[in-house]
Amino acid sequence: MGSAWPTCASTFCLSLVSVLSLILLVSCSSSALGTRHGEGLSRRSHQVKMDQAVLLIHNQLHEKFIIYWRSDHCYQCLFQTLSAANPAKRKDTDMVLVDTQYAITLQLNDTSGNTELCQVHYRFREFGNYSLWVTSNSSNTKDVTCDIIINYNPGYTNLPVVIAFCIYVVIFIVLTLGSFLIRRSPIQNWLCKQINPTETDRLINSELGSPSRADLCNQDAHLATWNTAPQRLRSLDTFRGLALIIMVFVNYGGGGYWFFKHQSWNGLTLADLVFPWFVFIMGTSIHLSLNSMLRKGNSRWKLFWKVLWRSIQLFLIGLFVINENYCRGPLSWSDIRIMGVLQRLSLTYLVVSALELLFTKHLPDALPPNRTCFLLQDVVIFWPQWLIILALEAAWLCLTLLLPVPGCPTGYLGPGGIGEFGKYPNCTGGAAGYIDRFVFGEDHIYQHPSSNVIYKTTVPYDPEGILGTLNSIVIAFLGLQAGKVLVFYKNQHKQIIVSFFTWSVVMGVISAILTKCSTNEGFIPVNKNLWSISYVTTLSCFAFFLLLIIYFLVDVKGYWTGAPFFYPGMNSILVYVGHEVFENYFPFKWKMKDSQSHAEHLTQNLVATSIWVLIAYILYRKRIFWKI
């Protein structure tokens, strides 16, 4: 681990169980708190599910009307029917369930649907109970008023997230600070005198070889041993692990909160960030690893066969992971899904690695400290690679914007369904969806895309389809550029940081132009389902900046060891495949007392995610890594 003294990693194992127990205790307390404030009562009485609230409709008119609704997040959508309210002479009150993810607009029309009586815009709170009073001071339908009254508000349903976040932050700060302090010379010298000599010898022999006990207290000898240890950029594994752990958490459900789920169409949530980051850092690792092997004298052709074999293995593992049959019985070849996360990774890895093997040039081991302006040089020096990447991006643009799609407008980038006021219900994804359905067939692509949540789409659509893989290659290549910066400016931290920051700004400017700084009104909106070019540049902007921060904290200043994310980052394939395969097995999932409680869902998902971090740490200590 680079030091004879226990790092925050060893303390992390001891603290993890207490953290999980505390989260469980706080979550259960939060659940009880919500019940006392009416949340439990509302759910039991009306069987309200997460992301829903109860709306009681009080019709004071003498005629029946129809209530329509539309989510603010549903761009250019048709109104959907919510309920039909009985006239005032009926004594019963109508009850409906309304969506709470975003603010919604309620519109009341007469039974013919042609005359609008009133309209109200409101953001309901999850598990809340509300009343809609529809009144009129005359028989004139123009005098109808709609008022929403709060019967009672639920408890603060986001409280478990806040508490869990604070707990993890406090533990993280304490462990990181402890790790930083324990590496300081005065503290190490003090520990040297306090630790049992026999135990000290054991620690030294297991970690750094077998120097004498006297050398342990000698600062110069310790520093010499530290400096001669093989160096590895921990920031890369830390970044990879961060993306992976967030991916595991959101895949397990993210506590059932909508903001931890994928965006229905345009825009970003936390869940939409992590896969591109993982692809980006894979590109960085490609350059570092292939560059290192080429320097050792490995032939390019031999390395290509290794790359090809690894890509095939990734693709086959991906097929196994996404086509589980433990609860559905034997699968039929007629409905096996072909593309997925690992499949996209395998194709991306193959193309980017092949480009690197074909066109990479050896950079000198040592460069003058004043070497600058690599942002242009890495484009000029490796211009054949850039030409191919630009050709791939041109292919994506041409296919996306110019390919004729039957029954759909050319260049359509929308979700279909009730979007675009219901004009193109079967055009989900435009050219991207059409190509997948044409190549694979509807039965071999993803059947439940995120677009059906808000836009009520009915056709299958695969967010890891063929066309989006072209832009996956682009973001991996941008990650490759980060690797070139690290090699080009080896040990020149200032230049590396400046270069990463410059790349981040350039990507951000391109995104601002493409999107016009809006969610839906830009030339090409940010869209995870399409893996649009603006999505690639936006996530690359974030990736360069985040890598800059992690590199500075971990590899430059040593303020942070990268724990706990460093450990799953070192065993990323095992953690990803493992969390998918064992998702529904104890202790990663268990039967909950209240399946509509965010607190219980969050506890379960955090426990499952933390267990995978613990597994990765144990495997790291045992030097067990799954490499393919």
Domain ranges of the chain: 8-35+165-228, 39-152, 234-581
Task: Note the pTM of the prediction, 2 decimals.
Answer: 0.85
- Whole-angstrom distance, CA of residue 569 vs CA of residue 625: 11
482 within 8 A of 280, measured Cβ to Cβ? yes
Q: Write the DSSP assignment of 76-110 as a string of letters.
A: TPPPEEEEEEPPTTS-S-EEEEEE-SS-EEEEEEE
Mean pLDDT per block of 10 residues along the chain (628 residues) reads: 43 47 49 43 60 88 86 91 68 80 90 81 90 79 82 82 86 77 70 54 39 41 38 87 94 90 92 94 93 87 94 92 72 84 95 92 56 62 90 96 94 92 92 94 90 91 94 96 89 90 95 94 94 97 96 90 90 91 88 86 92 93 85
pLDDT at 499: 92
Determine the 3-state secondary structure of 414 from DSSP.
Answer: coil
Q: Which of 133, 127, 122, 135 is nearest to 152 (CA)?
A: 127
Q: Which of 222, 262, 579, 598 is catalytic?
A: 262
First vs last C-alpha separation in the chain = 24
Identity at 149, one-letter amino acid code? I
pLDDT at 222: 38
pLDDT at 201: 44
Identity at 461, one-letter amino acid code? Y
Other C-beta atoms closer than 10 Å to the C-beta of 373 total 10
- Whole-angstrom distance, CA of residue 572 vs CA of residue 237: 9
225 within 8 A of 589, measured Cβ to Cβ? no
pLDDT at 392: 96
pLDDT at 166: 87
Question: Which CB contacts under 8 angstroms, 24+ apart, belong to 554-557?
Answer: 554/234, 554/235, 554/238, 555/233, 555/234, 555/235, 555/493, 556/493, 556/497
Which sign, positive or negative, has the C-alpha torsion 530, 390, 550, 347? positive
46 annotated active-site: no
- Whole-angstrom distance, CA of residue 347 vs CA of residue 339: 10
Identity at 595, one-letter amino acid code? S
pLDDT at 140: 60
- Whole-angstrom distance, CA of residue 372 vs CA of residue 378: 11
211 within 8 A of 225, measured Cβ to Cβ? yes
What's the chain's length in residues? 628
Which sign, positive or negative, has the C-alpha torsion 297, 301, 304, 305? negative
Other C-beta atoms closer than 10 Å to the C-beta of 524 total 21
Phi (first) and psi of residue 83, to 5 degrees: -170, 165
Q: What are the angstrom distances between the C-alpha of 238 and each of 216, 569, 619? A: 29, 6, 16
537 within 8 A of 510, measured Cβ to Cβ? yes
pLDDT at 483: 92
- Whole-angstrom distance, CA of residue 358 vs CA of residue 304: 9
Q: Which of 509, 535, 514 is nearest to 524 (CA)?
A: 514
* Domain 39-152 falls under CATH 2.60.40: yes
573 within 8 A of 248, measured Cβ to Cβ? no
